[in-house]
Amino acid sequence: MTALLNIQSLTVDRGPARILDRVTLEVGQGETVALVGESGAGKSTIATAIMRLLGEAQTSGQITLDGAGDLLALRERDMVGLRGRRLSMIFQDAGAALNPSYTVGRQLISAVRRNLGLDKTAARARAIELMTQVGINDPEARLTAYPHQLSGGMQQRVMVAIALAADPDLLLADEPTSALDVTIQAQIVRLILAQTKARGAACIFVLHDLALASQACDRIVVLYAGQVVESGPARDVLENARHPYTRQLKSCVLEIGTRDLIAPEGTVPSHRDMPRGCRFATRCPRVQDRCWAEAPPLEGGAHSFACWNPE
């Protein structure tokens, strides 16, 4: 089966800084994939690169979307046709993503019209249907509300409705719940999973929380300093982690009842003094001479990792 999305050797430079370095990853039809890693690792950059909204950056490699070819080679006009229709994105802060001066109805209806080419009446009916699907009670009344009149959770539901309006094949959700309370978080994650599943859509979740990633996603891709260091089925990556960084990330997760916390030393190196070999070498408990000299390649089949001295 061909993958829905296939990213090969995606490299992104901003000036002298290599923000993403030969990132390779695949998303199958209807699959849910988590991107995890520390702040600055490049998770949002990957999602934004797929939407081709990176702006000034220099980009190389291929991002192949089934049926559309290499997105990086498309004309902007063709890309516009894909955004919102086959690819759509939800951001962390729904409040900032919605326009404060238009009602949510106007924003949702215009997304529906733009992406589905419906007339006004049909678009309004579809908007109401979408709002019902994302669990907004009394949708007709809510259409006339301005974003600030809705809670953060409601705003995020509206964003989910807008993103799903045209039944995209791939939904990119960049920390869609980290600004929300835990009980609302669970509602939104469940909503996104249920709605993408019902549509057979695939989903890339950018998440900070490994435990949540294990609950929500089929596969996990671990990023460190712009590189994929480990990727595979969620269980393999979390219960049989081969890369020392994945282990470290997992040992930092606090579950209820965690007594001992092994806090890792140090921080991610800055782009100015990135180690030449393995980028994790400065913090790795298993570092060897070779690690300083040569960057380990990402190897393996379904479960792959980039390390000279794996666990």
Partner 1 sequence: MQNAERPVFELVDVEKVFQVRKPGQRFGRQTVGLHALDGVRLSVGQGASLALVGESGSGKSTLLRVLLGLDAPTNGQALYRGRAIREARAGGSDFARDVAMVYQDARGSLNPRMTIGALLAEPLRRFAVVPEAQIGARVEQLLTRVGLPADAAARYPAALSGGQVRRVAIARALASEPSVLVADEAVSGLDVSTQAQLLSLLRRLQQEMGLTLVFITHDLGVASYLCENIAIMYLGRIVETGPTDAVLAAPAHPYTAALRAAAPSFFQPIAEPLPGEIPSPLDLPAGCRFSGRCPRVQGDCHASDPYLARAGEGRSVACLHPLASPQASALAGTFQD
Ligand X SMILES: Nc1ncnc2c1ncn2[C@@H]1O[C@H](COP(=O)(O)OP(=O)(O)OP(=O)(O)O)[C@@H](O)[C@H]1O
| Residues of the shown chain interacting with Mg ion in the complex, contacts defined by CB under 5 A | 44
Interacting residues with ligand X between 270 and 309 (CB under 6 A): none
CA distance linking residue 194 with residue 135, whole number of Å: 11
Residue 224 within binding range of ligand SF4, rule CB under 6 A: no
174-to-128, 207, 241 alpha-carbon distances in Å: 25, 7, 24
Look up residue 146 and give its DSSP letter: -
Q: How far is the CB of 212 from partner 1 (least distance, A)?
A: 4
Nearer to partner 1, 249 or 306 (CB): 249
CA angle, corner 79, sides to 74 and 84, nearest 5?
Answer: 155
Among 230, 244, 268, 298, binds ligand SF4 (CB under 6 A): 244
The sheet that has 170-174: what strands, in order across it? 87-90, 170-174, 202-206, 32-36, 219-224, 227-233, 304-305, 299-300
Look up residue 294 and give its DSSP letter: S
Q: How far is the CB of 16 from partner 1 (least distance, A)?
A: 19
Nearest to 98 by CA among 155, 56, 137: 155
Q: How far is the CB of 167 from ligand SF4 (least distance, A)?
A: 39
Binding at 44: pick from ligand SF4, Mg ion, partner 1, none (beta carbon under 5-8 Å per type)? Mg ion
Nearer to ligand X, 2 or 9 (CB): 9
Cβ contact 123:112 at 8 Å: yes
Interacting residues with ligand X between 38 and 57 (CB under 6 A): 39-45
Nearer to ligand SF4, 51 or 222 (CB): 222
Nearer to ligand SF4, 212 or 306 (CB): 306
Binding at 235: pick from partner 1, Mg ion, ligand X, none (beta carbon under 5-8 Å per type)? partner 1
Residue 107 within binding range of ligand X, rule CB under 6 A: no
Nearest to 20 by CA among 247, 264, 279, 293: 279
Interacting residues with ligand SF4 between 279 and 308 (CB under 6 A): 280-281, 284, 286-288, 291, 296, 307-308
Binding at 209: pick from Mg ion, ligand X, partner 1, none (beta carbon under 5-8 Å per type)? partner 1
Helix axes 152-164, 120-133, angle to 10 degrees: 130
Residue 19 within binding range of ligand X, rule CB under 6 A: yes
Q: How far is the CB of 40 from ligand X (least distance, A)?
A: 4
Residue 14 within binding range of ligand X, rule CB under 6 A: yes
Residue 34 within binding range of ligand SF4, rule CB under 6 A: no
Nearest to 240 by CA among 291, 306, 305: 305
65-to-182, 184, 186, 304 alpha-carbon distances in Å: 34, 32, 30, 22
CA distance linking residue 220 with residue 268, whole number of Å: 20
Q: How far is the CB of 222 from ligand X (least distance, A)?
A: 11
Residue 249 within binding range of ligand SF4, rule CB under 6 A: no
CA distance linking residue 305 with residue 286, whole number of Å: 15
Cα 311 → chain centroid: 27
Binding at 281: pick from partner 1, Mg ion, ligand SF4, none (beta carbon under 5-8 Å per type)? ligand SF4
What residues make contact with ligand X under the rule CB under 6 A? 14, 19, 37, 39-45
What residues make contact with ligand SF4 under the rule CB under 6 A? 243-244, 278, 280-281, 284, 286-288, 291, 296, 307-309
